[in-house]
Amino acid sequence: MKEWYKKRGKYTHLNLLCEISETHAESDYKNYYRMNEQLFIELLIKITPYLTRNTVMRDCLWVEERLALTLRFLATGQAFKDMKISFIISPSAISQFVIEICETLICVLQDYMKVSQTLKCVLFKLFLL
């Protein structure tokens, strides 16, 4: 593991976004995520039960961080290899998290969108809906 990956807690973009949130700079927050903080929190609350992990081996990425990087990817389409710098997460981990969060969002938000019967069957198998 690269040495600078170990300093994720210190250098991650979430520290800056927390400060933006605390200073009530809502337009900056909305510009970054393409949604306001309240909606971000609502999504976070909906997906957290599906994604919470406990591990003894190492610190697992918070659900908030995984949601943040997924929303940022969806908002910008930025390459995973470029996102690794601002999120301090390897591109391979980012790709896994984006897929995981998108699948979970589809599952928890299916009442708000049209979902094909085939996709519902897949979601049922994945999440035992």
Per-residue pLDDT tens over the stretch 63-111: 888 999 999 999 999 999 988 888 888 899 999 999 999 989 988 988 8
Angstrom distance (rounded) from CA 73 to CA 125: 26
pLDDT for 23 equals: 75
> Residues near 81 by Cβ (< 8 Å), separated by ≥ 6?
91
pLDDT for 125 equals: 64
Does residue 120 have a pLDDT over 80?
no
Per-residue pLDDT tens over the stretch 9-67: 666 677 777 777 777 777 887 888 888 889 999 999 999 988 876 655 445 568 888 99
The pair of structure tokens assigned to 37 is 């903080």
* Owner of token pair 């589809």: 106
Angstrom distance (rounded) from CA 18 to CA 23: 9
Q: Name the burial class of residue 48, with classes exposed (0-12), middle (13-18) and buried (19+) by CB atoms within 10 angstroms of its CB.
A: middle
Q: Please tell me the total count of domains within the chain.
A: 1
- State which residues form the domain around 89: 3-127
- Whole-model pTM: value is 0.75
In this structure, the number of other CB atoms found within 10 A of the CB of residue 59 comes to 8
pLDDT for 94 equals: 92
